[in-house]
Structure 1
Amino acid sequence: MLYERDEKVLCFHGPLIYQAKILLAEDWKGDDNHNGAVGQHYLVHYQGWKKTWDEWVPETRLLKFNEENLARQKALVDAQKAEAKVAAQAAESSGANTGASGKRDQRKPAGSSSAGRGTKRSREATDQDDSDRRPDLKIVIPDALKVQLVDDWENVTRKEQLVPLPREPNVREILQQYAQEYRARHKNKKDVSSAVLDEVIAGLKLYFDKSLPQNLLYRLERRQYVEMRQRQGANTTDTSAANSGKPSTKSRNPTKSTNTTTAESSSAQSNPTSFEMEASEIYGAEHLLRLFVNLPSIVAHSNMDAESIALLREHITGFLAFLTQERQRLFVSTYETPSVAYLRQGGL
């Protein structure tokens, strides 16, 4: 057994890591538990929590109690705090009008304290009602993908490495591959709506494209994003010059002019340059997985109804299972080390 009885460990529970203690350690064969699970399992007690939270967990949810894994624990806490801050700012922005009304209430004279308390209770009740009405998308990240998230964070923030770009397959291709796999798996079911699936895939792609620059990049990666766009912009300048019959400023022979036919011009328009590529055509599974950590707070400030939330949750669960199954193929195995000049400049 990798962990011993009474050993102090770190244990994944939901999106976070908690300190825990091993109470029992057993090697399950499949017929000695109610769900048929096999392999090494441990009964853990979470430090500072009641015994009612004690549970059996597989070895994949446990980490050794050391400085490296404590840093991972802190990183996940910091990420959740940042997510909560973004959600709070979005809520504050969307509720600007009611916020102004609240400020007027706070300026009431001291003699109206009872009325003020009534207003506060009313405001709290309204806030509670608003919270109850918000779309609630609960996403369970599989244990293998949690480990992927932590390793991804460690590679970028601690080892100062970057995901090599552009990625292959990219986010758009991965979403399409899931859609193809889903249709093949449900080809005999009449209740599978292709239109709904297409809408979910399009929505996830849109969320990714809009979220990446501000919410899905670590600080070290921002310069990489800017430099990628700048290189693509240079490519666009060269391509535009060629298509217009004008020499490029970067051409080795500025006196040489290239004329294009109507067919060539049409082809260029139907095949946009890399600068016109969206984030989903440049980034891959590593950054797409980060989206699902932020997605509940994004959806919470949308106007999605309960039925739409249920459909989205169903496909996200299936998609995360697809990522888990295909993780060896979809996730990059080696991050690249940026130049000394890049590291000296730091993030933006």
Structure 2
Amino acid sequence: MDEELPLKRPFKQHESVLVYDGPILYEANVLQVLCDEGTNETRHYLVHFIGWNRCYDDVVPESALLPRTPANMALAERLYEKLGQKRAADDDVGVVARNEDVDSSSHTASTASVSKDEKEISHCRGLETVLLQVDESDPLRWFELPELLKRTVLDDFEFVSEGEQLYELPSRVSVSTILHAWARHRGRLQKADAEVAQKRAFADSLQGYFDAALGRMLLYENEQAQYRRLIASQGNKAASELYGGEHLLRLLVKLPWFLEHASVTERELQELSLLFQDLCRFMLRNGRKYFRVEDDHALETTGG
């Protein structure tokens, strides 16, 4: 076993630590110790990731922290090398595809296939053309959601629109948190500053699109009243700080529409599609943490 167990003690404010984010350990400082008064619940910590902007600060459980010891620093390096090797192996097919001439057959092979008998989506208010009716030769096809995320979109529709239920807001894990976690996670694997900057820029752009589009394009009718109440009571926060994973998926579904109206070249679309696909894989791996659509405790009826 190549992991050192964390010390069984609370961490202190200003302490230097290592923090698990997925399979990787990041260097961080403890900004604040968070725990419910009068309880023995697991402590949480507000941490700042060293070398990252303050907007990437995050609240993590005590189980995600390790003391910053030589042994744990060595563990961090081993995990980084191990994941880098896995990523290189996973990307072999993608590298070959990127080095080939751009044509419809190669890009069709790099995206998930679309099932002709996918469960009832014709009633999903505009999602049909994005989820199914995409021209094989259209570069926007590269922005196709994986099948499991499509099912989450459909489950979200059934819960909110057909089931007349609302998510508890603000979300426990916000759109902003998800995007920044992805950018931080992917950036840890990149050695080139330009690639790291590209991922951060993509995350920032998606967050900007989300803030601008949520109230006008991403809500079902029965969510509008909740949205108005939330914005009125949380006026100092952006929508991306209040809404969660299901609403981010709604934006990703509509991303081809946004790109169709943007001035981008086919080569730029290809580069963006690689970031899009990587973000989708990250969300799939963290689905239990990011999606609440099947969590009854996260739902409230629209009548409330």
Over aligned residues, Cα RMSD in angstroms?
A: 3.1
**Other-structure match for 2:126:** 79
Answer 1 or 2: higher relative contact order, Cα 8 Å, separation at least 6.
1
**Other-structure match for 2:175:** 171
List per-residue Cα deviations over 1:53-91 (Å, max 9, x = no partner): xxxx99xx7989xxxx5xx33324x4236879xxxxxxx
Structure 1 residues 143 and 224, CA, compared in 2 at 3 Å: closer, same or farther? same
Q: What amino acid is aligned across from residue 221 of structure 1 in structure 2?
A: E
Asked if 1:300 corresponds to 2:260, the answer is yes
The CA deviation at 1:201 is 1.1
Structure 1 residues 331 and 136, CA, compared in 2 at 3 Å: closer, same or farther? closer
CA contact (8 A) 1:137 1:299 kept: no
**Other-structure match for 2:287:** 327
Q: What secondary structure does 1:337 align onto?
A: strand
**Other-structure match for 2:186:** 182
Match of 1:227 among 217, 226, 229: 229
Structure 1 residues 219 and 193, CA, compared in 2 at 3 Å: closer, same or farther? same
List per-residue Cα deviations over 1:253-289 (Å, max 9, x = no partner): xxxxxxxxxxxxxxxxxxxxx3121110100111000
Task: Give the Cα separation in 2 of the matches to 1:210 and 1:161.
Answer: 24
CA contact (8 A) 1:137 1:309 kept: no
**Other-structure match for 1:208:** 210
Structure 1 residues 338 and 157, CA, compared in 2 at 3 Å: closer, same or farther? same
CA contact (8 A) 1:170 1:281 kept: yes
**Other-structure match for 2:69:** none
**Other-structure match for 2:109:** none
Asked if 1:150 corresponds to 2:110, the answer is no
Structure 1 residues 302 and 337, CA, compared in 2 at 3 Å: closer, same or farther? same
Q: What amino acid is aligned across from residue 290 of structure 1 in structure 2?
A: R
CA contact (8 A) 1:284 1:331 kept: yes
CA contact (8 A) 1:160 1:337 kept: no
Q: What secondary structure does 1:162 align onto?
A: strand
Asked if 1:161 corresponds to 2:185, the answer is no
- The correspondence of residues 87-126 of structure 1 with structure 2, limited to 5 A, is none
The CA deviation at 1:135 is 7.6
- The correspondence of residues 1-348 of structure 1 with structure 2, limited to 5 A, is 69=119, 72-76=120-124, 78-80=125-127, 136=140, 138-186=142-190, 189-190=191-192, 193-230=195-232, 232=233, 274-332=234-292, 333-334=295-296, 335-338=298-301, 340=303
List per-residue Cα deviations over 1:90-134 (Å, max 9, x = no partner): xxxxxxxxxxxxxxxxxxxxxxxxxxxxxxxxxxxxxxxxxx9x9
Task: Give the Cα separation in 1 of the matches to 2:222 and 2:302.
Answer: 12
CA contact (8 A) 1:216 1:287 kept: yes
The CA deviation at 1:184 is 2.2
Unaligned runs of 5+ in 1: 1-56, 85-131, 233-273, 343-348
Q: What secondary structure does 1:180 align onto?
A: helix
Q: What secondary structure does 2:127 align onto?
A: helix
Q: What secondary structure does 1:276 align onto?
A: coil
Structure 1 residues 338 and 137, CA, compared in 2 at 3 Å: closer, same or farther? same
Q: What secondary structure does 1:138 align onto?
A: helix
Task: Give the Cα separation in 2 of the matches to 1:295 and 1:339.
Answer: 28
Task: Give the Cα separation in 2 of the matches to 1:337 and 1:170.
Answer: 18
**Other-structure match for 1:6:** none
Total equivalences in the alignment: 185
List per-residue Cα deviations over 1:140-177 (Å, max 9, x = no partner): 21111111111100001111101110012101111010
Q: What amino acid is aligned across from residue 203 of structure 1 in structure 2?
A: S
Structure 1 residues 145 and 339, CA, compared in 2 at 3 Å: closer, same or farther? closer
Larger radius of gyration: 1
**Percentage of pairs with the same residue:** 27
Q: What secondary structure does 1:277 align onto?
A: coil
Q: What amino acid is aligned across from residue 123 of structure 2 in structure 1?
A: A
Q: Which has the higher helix share?
A: 1
Q: What amino acid is aligned across from residue 272 of structure 2 in structure 1?
A: L
